[in-house]
Structure 1
Amino acid sequence: MTSIFIKSIQLLFSISILIVVHELGHFILAKIFRVRVERFFLFFDPWFSIFKKKIGHTIYGIGWLPLGGYVKIYGMIKENCSNLSKKNKNKNWEFCSKSAIKRLLIISGGIIFNIILSILIFTFLLFQYGEIYLPTKNVKYGIEVDSLGKKIGLKNGDKILFVNGKYIKYFNEIPKSIFLGNSITVDRMGKILNLSLNNKKKFLFDRKKFGFFIKPRVPPIINYVIKNSKAEKYGLKNNDEILAINSELIFFSDQLKDSLSNYKNENILISINRNGKLIQKEVFIDSKGILGIFLKSFMDLNHIFLFEKKNYSYFDSFYHGIIKSYNVLKNQIIFLKNIIHVETKAYKQIGSFFSIAKEFPSQWNWYVFWSLTGTLSIWLAFLNLFPIPSLDGGYILFIMIEMLIGKKVNEKIIEKCTIYGFIIISLMMIFIIFWDIFKVFF
């Protein structure tokens, strides 16, 4: 329950930042062009609000329904504009009185600010933490794969040479390239094989959550022994390297896992390298094949794997922050293309707030929090560009049509399209939420 609470708080905080920044974009652009803002709300407030206070011409508040936020600008609706015009001879502070380009910028303000936020977040993270990479050429033992990796044709020990015919310089970029690619070229015990992904995309997307389906193959070295486990009982210690099970030599972690599964409810003889000394322990393996140890990952073995760390100056981090935001957006667009192709089953990965919450760690981690917030910010900017009435993109479309034909689009058409757009988006959100619940429980 604690982990669920922490994930939920991180999601709520992240979403709040995105909403405030988005609406602030509209608000500031409106102020720049001297347009009055009637309301500025974090979350929606049907029937009542948690908090509200009027300052100047604007009511600032917090609603109770955390599905978004809004700014209400004077004169965006023609009827309001007409009524205000009758009461006020000077109507320069109304939205409808401004030129098309100014109205376009005000509507685009939220998108612009979300893009800026994403760039600033990635700039800060790159400047503060830099980036650590494992060059693909340094993955000396090949890869270890899970059940998904095996389904798409990979095997333990494969060395990935190319994805889509391209050499991937850093290992952390390989899983993403496989998700978006069509073929993998591997070195399998000296034999070069080309694995097609065309009929296997459904395996990549047809899973409850994304994970590391491939990772560097590593020797079986104990990271830590679980307290009160059989491993502790029989005297295994942190940093022990397992060399053999009975007479079977063990070179890699995946071999150890496979070997233990073959000796359930049996006594085995484990050969260990402990600080250069050969030690043997007789251990009983339970019905689950669990020994009670956690093995070191490749990140714990920097004496075996040579990592590269890139540190960035402020100006370099800003440049690479822009590149990172662009790459995040590009990958999301490619994923969206996969959703259109039903055979990939990528549509199963569509999710609501529940799916987003699962991506946050169960313990608070500022680096992960800001990384996800930066990713969500650029994605929110992209979604708002969709030319759907009631989204920013819908208003932008109508203003651009006005600029092309030289006159405003009929207000009744805009009003009807906005209502239909709102209904469509609401139904989509309800469907996605129910789909998310269905995925979790069924």
Structure 2
Amino acid sequence: MNPIVVKIILFILSLSILIVLHEFGHFIPAKLFKTRVEKFFLFFDVKFALFKKKIGETEYGIGWLPLGGYVKISGMIDESMDTEQMAQEPQPWEFRSKPAWQRLIIMTGGVIVNFILAAIIYIGLIFTYGEYTLPTDKIKDGVWVTDPELGAELGIRTGDKILAIDGNPLENLDRIGVELINGNSITIERDGKRIEKDMPVDFISKMIEKEDRAAFIFPRMPFYIGGIPEKSANYNSGLQAKDHVIRIGTQEITYFDEAKAALEQYKGRATEVEVIREGKHVQIPVQVSDTATLGVQRGRVELKDLDRLGYIELKHTEYGFFEAIPAGIKKGVTTLVDYVKNMKKIFNPDTGAYKGVGGFGTIANIFPDTFDWEAFWDRTALLSVILGFMNILPIPALDGGHVMFLLYEMVTGRKPSDKFLEYATLVGFVLLIALLLFANGNDVYKWLFK
């Protein structure tokens, strides 16, 4: 199946699960408090619905516009803007007739479900697969900076060891991406010396501008050949896919990043390379191009292969069921904290992080292009955390906006007027539409011009 189609299928499946469970978080307490729920929809049914069926007092359905979902609760100012209902006398089964504490539980139910769901997924993943981490102290010869320009902005080079971000020890290299995005300073070790550097305020912006190279720090990797194109001068040289290059001319190489300097010595000339093939050492004459390349494709090396070959030491931690519970909750909390830090960067114009805000295209792109269920559930847990956090923001028209007004009512004893709530919801709805247009506009811009 086409990889793009797979991504879209997994994205829609994840979105559907999250929307339905979020809305159930509102639906269940509403029913417990005997509040009438008129509609329960996955996706929006603007003008018409793909499917709908009334069961009891609630109409269940699937809309055609996949921008979210909703439950319509009687007697509540929401995106439906049902002013006719609100103009009538309050009824006992309506939301507005219920005590403030019950309304608060109804409104926070969706967000609570999102956070609980994320924790449950992380617990399940950790229990099923365990956790693989890459301890920084097990990386023998420092990191590989694949984009020297970005590395220079940060003040880091290939071979450096990353010790800390913002003074906090970086224990696992697999967290380097999120730590760089949220951090302000970096501590490295170079040639035995400890160096501390402040990150440029607009470093995130520079990473976004190089979207295809935003991930640019990896463990140093051996030079494996992935393939030899027919147009390459070395197509018939005897080199083969999966050959492990360990010497170029007279210079032995351990890592791929060392190959360029070795090839520079033989630019435009013939030389010999030594490779390991099926456990045997093989010497092969080759032609080096005028640009100091062999004209071969670099082979992909997985972290587990690097561990097996002795280049790094992965740490695999297995968990029993009861051990997985606190570990999964901790991962959920860490994910939430990372996302909150990320949002702080986005709201600071100087960082340029707002350029990375994306819409449905960006979100769909985080899903794997194969039916990898471990990756699918991991991305779904991440989106559940994001959905929960975004919904609790104190913006009218979101759950957090309703919670803000309810807390005001509970503290002051005065309930905002229906007319005020209508206007506030309308303003919030306009803000959300503007954010939606901006985020998806960013996706369109990247697709057209990058």
TM score, norm. by length of structure 2? 0.89
Shift of 1:265: 6.6
The CA distance in 1 between the partners of 2:213 and 2:409, in whole Å, is 44
Q: Give 1:213's aligned residue.
A: 216
* Contact 1:285/1:291 (8 A) holds in 2: no
Shift of 1:164: 2.1
Per-residue displacement from partner, 1:229-286 (whole Å, max 9, x unpaired)? 8577433346533122223332211122565588677544212234664422123456
Change (3 A) 1:232 1:306: farther
Partner amino acid, structure 2, of 1:67: L
* Contact 1:179/1:204 (8 A) holds in 2: no
> What are the residue-to-residue correspondences of 1:291-330 with 2, within 5 Å?
291-303=296-308, 304=310, 305-330=312-337
Bigger Cα displacement from structure 2, 56-65 vs 340-349: 340-349
- Is 1:93 the equivalent of 2:93? yes
Change (3 A) 1:212 1:11: same
The CA distance in 1 between the partners of 2:141 and 2:362, in whole Å, is 34
Q: Give 1:253's aligned residue.
A: 256
The CA distance in 2 between the partners of 1:253 and 1:440, in whole Å, is 32
Partner amino acid, structure 2, of 1:365: D
Q: Give 1:88's aligned residue.
A: none
Secondary structure of the residue that 2:7 maps to in structure 1? helix
The CA distance in 2 between the partners of 1:258 and 1:306, in whole Å, is 27
Q: Give 1:10's aligned residue.
A: 10
* Contact 2:242/2:299 (8 A) holds in 1: no
The CA distance in 2 between the partners of 1:104 and 1:394, in whole Å, is 11
* 2:282 equivalent among 273, 279, 293: 279
Shift of 1:208: 2.4
Shift of 1:2: 1.8
The CA distance in 1 between the partners of 2:158 and 2:207, in whole Å, is 18
Shift of 1:199: 4.5
Bigger Cα displacement from structure 2, 104-113 vs 338-347: 338-347
Secondary structure of the residue that 1:120 maps to in structure 2? helix
- Is 1:124 the equivalent of 2:124? yes
Change (3 A) 1:277 1:112: closer
The CA distance in 2 between the partners of 1:262 and 1:371, in whole Å, is 46
> What are the residue-to-residue correspondences of 1:402-413 with 2, within 5 Å?
402-413=409-420
Gaps of 5+ in 1: 86-90
> What are the residue-to-residue correspondences of 1:258-273 with 2, within 5 Å?
259=262, 267-273=270-276
* Contact 1:134/1:171 (8 A) holds in 2: yes
The CA distance in 2 between the partners of 1:262 and 1:343, in whole Å, is 43
* Contact 1:226/1:294 (8 A) holds in 2: no
Q: CA RMSD in A?
A: 2.5
* Contact 1:104/1:399 (8 A) holds in 2: yes
Identity in percent: 39
Q: Give 1:175's aligned residue.
A: 177
Q: Give 2:80's aligned residue.
A: none
Q: Give 1:235's aligned residue.
A: 238
The CA distance in 1 between the partners of 2:260 and 2:18, in whole Å, is 43
* Contact 1:244/1:272 (8 A) holds in 2: yes
The CA distance in 2 between the partners of 1:145 and 1:384, in whole Å, is 38
* Contact 1:208/1:349 (8 A) holds in 2: no
Shift of 1:185: 2.1
Bigger Cα displacement from structure 2, 24-33 vs 149-158: 149-158
* Contact 1:220/1:295 (8 A) holds in 2: no
* Contact 1:239/1:274 (8 A) holds in 2: yes
Change (3 A) 1:412 1:124: same
Partner amino acid, structure 1, of 2:45: D
* 1:348 equivalent among 345, 349, 355: 355
Bigger Cα displacement from structure 2, 184-193 vs 364-373: 184-193
Bigger Cα displacement from structure 2, 8-17 vs 38-47: 8-17
Q: Give 2:431's aligned residue.
A: 424
TM score, norm. by length of structure 1? 0.91
Secondary structure of the residue that 1:363 maps to in structure 2? coil
Change (3 A) 1:212 1:327: same
Per-residue displacement from partner, 1:416-439 (whole Å, max 9, x unpaired)? 111111112112211221122112
Report how many aligned residue pairs link the two structures: 436
